[in-house]
Amino acid sequence: RLINLSELTPYILCSICKGYLIDATTITECLHTFCKSCIVRHFYYSNRCPKCNIVVHQTQPLYNIRLDRQLQDIVYKLVINLEEREKKQMHDFYKERGLEVPKPAVPQPVPSSKGRSKKVLESVFRIPPELDMSLLLEFIGANEGTGHFKPLEKKFVRVSGEATIGHVEKFLRRKMGLDPACQVDIICGDHLLERYQTLREIRRAIGDAAMQDGLLVLHYGLVVSPLKIT
């Protein structure tokens, strides 16, 4: 029998933008699917699925998403001219900016156990091996006189273990728009940390007491700089 497109619409719409799925991308933890651009933008602010609220990954939710090419093919077959419109918009976008139009990614065949090749879809994003330390940055407050600042939008960060507390402080200052006269104190457990200490050294020195679910927990507070008081 013929099926009205409206009956299938709920299954091929992105719940974030409410439009038809483009570059359909599925969260591996809960199997909910969204437009790739929509879910990537969402994960900049949150590590939870926008549909079921499950924690996708403590620090790198983008690592747990996969392109769903079969579903995207179905969407393009159901919605007339959708694929052509998207290709034209992408082509125009790059041409207007004098950029080379990217070629579509093709799954690479890999040998199977039976000697025949099969196609495997890789993760949409890869975490560089040098980013071996996951941080949880917890705000513990600010004293009066520290000035105006923006809340830190993303408290989960993945960095190199060779990064120092000085690097973390610079990150906080840039993201929060802190006044130069504002002092940033960073604490791990009961230890007030020095700017020269590396994250790997802190993890090794403090041990499991510094960790929470595989994350190095750093608390930071804003205080009035002694130079400002004098």
User: Residue 39's pLDDT band (boundaries 50, 70, 90)?
Assistant: very high
Q: What is the mean pLDDT of residues 213-228?
A: 80
Distances (CA, A) of 100 to 37, 91, 105: 20, 9, 15
User: Residue 189's pLDDT band (boundaries 50, 70, 90)?
Assistant: confident
For residues 152 and 178, give the distance between their C-alpha atoms in angstroms, rounded to a whole number. 11
- For the cut 70, the answer to whether the pLDDT of residue 124 exceeds it is no
Whether the pTM exceeds 0.75: the reply is no
H or E element that contains 137? strand 133-142
From 188, 193, 189, 195, select the one nearest 170 (Cα to Cα).
Answer: 195
For residues 35 and 43, give the distance between their C-alpha atoms in angstroms, rounded to a whole number. 12
- Decide if 147 contacts 181 (C-beta within 8 A): yes
